[in-house]
Amino acid sequence: MCTYKTILSDLSGENHFGIDLSYETEFESIEKEVVKSTDIFATTKTDWSEVRSNSLNLLQYKSKDYRLLHWLLLSIKKENDHNTFIIILPIINQFFIKYSTTIYPLREKQLYSTINKIIVIIDDIVKSIIDNSIDTNASNNLIALLSILDITIDESFNANTDNLYLTINKLSINIKRISSEKKEGSTSSSPLINNEAIKSIASVSFSIDPITNDRDANKAFRHLQDIARNLSKFWLTQRINNEKAYQLNRTLTWLHIIQLPASNDEKITMLKPIPQTRLQYFIKLKNESDHETLLLEIEESLSKSPFWIDGHLIAWESLIALNHPEAAQIILEQMALLIKKIPEIITLKFDDGTEFASNSAKNWIAEHCTSAAPSQIAANTYNEISDGTDWEDALQAAQSVLTTDNLSDAILPLITGHNQCRSDREVFFWKFSQAKLLYQAHKFDLVCALTSWLDSRYSHSILIHWDPVLEERLLELWLSSQNKLPNKEQDTHLMNTLRERLCCLNPMRVLNF
């Protein structure tokens, strides 16, 4: 506790609040570590203990900044450290009282936005405590702490931020539920929908600051997703079959997904599945035919778990049970768009081995989300590839440029095309076109590196669904490039492996090697 209390001590020097670290290396390193937790393409997991330690260190010795306090609290949430949360609440209260609006970030809108993020995290942690505690005395103590903090927030920030009213209300309802023993043994709470909830949703702040870099753009997009979640929830509380809510939720959830998340040879990713307690709660609501509550709850989870395909099946089934076919159709249409963009998504698994899409979900997709059988889908995909000649035209133009100019100028349009890709399929063809141009330029070592990457990502289960010949062409280019390398740089074992694989696909292609 003494360690956390030190964030209340002013810093030495002329400015007792320290300096703005926004663009300093130590600040950005924490931010990058935090961003990894929401980056589906990250190759390593966020080290939350590092986030906690570094945020606390900067708060203690370099800068009084609400963004650092936000990350500190976020790390406590991610590590499920409820004891530290209880300890730090009074310290946060004193921090708000002491520094109010006088510290970083200096821009008023950004400061209030950061305070709102802190409030959201407090609410999330309290939800977790509710789900895992039946101690009414502890809950009453927590209500007392939150009530004091709620008053401080209102006074320190002049009612320009959200408040903790709903959070405190949830705790109060949970205490009543436990005391009455009406739902003995249940650890899940029903959604609280009332006028205060609607007021809270309506109070979401919108930023109109100009976006000047990628970091601002990513922050703005995440903020937009948060707003969409609140808006969708509001719409559904008004009318459970509001088609706009189901479309908005899925559009913004899947908008940034343009390629598959990283996975190993067994198709296992680093992504976490839906918590088992949450899944059991959904099943309980479904078995009780409480479809409206189920839809409200599951839509919120789906907005934060973009690859949990089974959840969309459950939502669709609930809408069908409620006789809302138009809203159910929206889910089918949005799912069809996702499958068209990255059809391999249903083959991947969460980090515990659970499939993104169970057999039931796969059958549902095949029956309702596509207009053709899987084999026909593959054929349609290949026709689409044949018709989409942007990369072929760019390659022909690049090959012509290469005869008169240098490789850098020739390959630039292919790199530009790759950077504008909208699907995993386009990524393959633009990269494959780059490999062909590099081969023509006699950069065989680069071709080997690129074809190796393409093979690890697309061969075996993916290319065969697009066009079986593609894997043959890829392996042939790779093997040919290996043969062109100086003898001392050739990988004999790899070449034999490539010959064997190519022979299994098409013996005619290995006759010249």
Residue 468 pLDDT: 66
Residue 209 pLDDT: 58
Q: Which of 282, 304, 410, 407 is closest to 38 using CA atoms?
A: 304
Q: Is the pLDDT of residue 211 over 80?
A: no
Q: Decide if 420 contacts 388 (C-beta within 8 A).
A: no
Q: Decide if 425 contacts 432 (C-beta within 8 A).
A: no
Task: Please report, for the chain, how many H helices and E strands are present, in that order.
Answer: 24, 0
Give per-residue pLDDT as tens, 40-92. 667 788 999 999 999 999 999 999 999 999 999 999 999 999 999 999 999 99
Q: How confident is the model at residue 185 (pLDDT cuts 50, 70, 90)?
A: very low
Residue 356 DSSP label? S
Q: Is the pLDDT of residue 1 over 80?
A: no
* Tokens standing for residue 501: 């694989």
CA distance 355 to 344: 12
Tally Cβ neighbours within 10 Å of residue 166: 19
Residue 304 pLDDT: 84
CB neighbour burial string for 232-251, b if at least 16 within 10 angstroms, e if fewer? bbbbbbeebbbbebbbbbbe
- CATH architecture for residues 383-510: Alpha Horseshoe (1.25)
Q: What angle is formed at CA 415 by the lines to CA 409 and CA 419, rounded to 5 degrees?
A: 145
Residue 206 pLDDT: 46
Q: How confident is the model at residue 482 (pLDDT cuts 50, 70, 90)?
A: very high
Residue 228 pLDDT: 84
pTM above 0.75, yes or no: no
Instruction: Write the CB contacts of 230 (distance below 8 Å, at least 6 apart in sequence).
Output: 201, 204
Lowest mean pLDDT, pick from 33-42, 223-232, 386-395 = 386-395
Stretch 242-271: mean pLDDT, rounded? Answer: 87
Q: Is the pLDDT of residue 459 over 90?
A: no
DSSP β-bridge partners for residue 269:
263
Q: Decide if 56 contacts 4 (C-beta within 8 A).
A: yes
In the chain, CATH 1.25.40 covers 383-510
Using CB atoms within 10 A of its CB, is residue 185 exposed (0-12), middle (13-18) or buried (19+)?
Answer: exposed
Residue 272 DSSP SS3: coil
* Tokens standing for residue 219: 């922050």
Lowest mean pLDDT, pick from 193-197, 245-249, 425-429 = 193-197
Residue 45 pLDDT: 87
Q: What angle is formed at CA 452 by the lines to CA 257 and CA 498, rounded to 5 degrees?
A: 135
Maximum Cα–Cα distance across the chain:
84
Residue 192 pLDDT: 42
Q: Is the pLDDT of residue 446 over 90?
A: yes
HSE toward the beta carbon, residue 399, CA cutoff 13 A = 13
Give per-residue pLDDT as tens, 274-322. 888 888 989 999 899 999 999 999 998 898 888 999 999 999 999 998 9
Residue 435 pLDDT: 93
Give per-residue pLDDT as tens, 363-394. 898 888 864 333 333 333 333 333 445 888 88
HSE toward the beta carbon, residue 507, CA cutoff 13 A = 0
Q: What is the 3-state secondary structure (H, E, C) of 364-386?
A: HHHHHHCCCCHHHHHHHHHHHHH
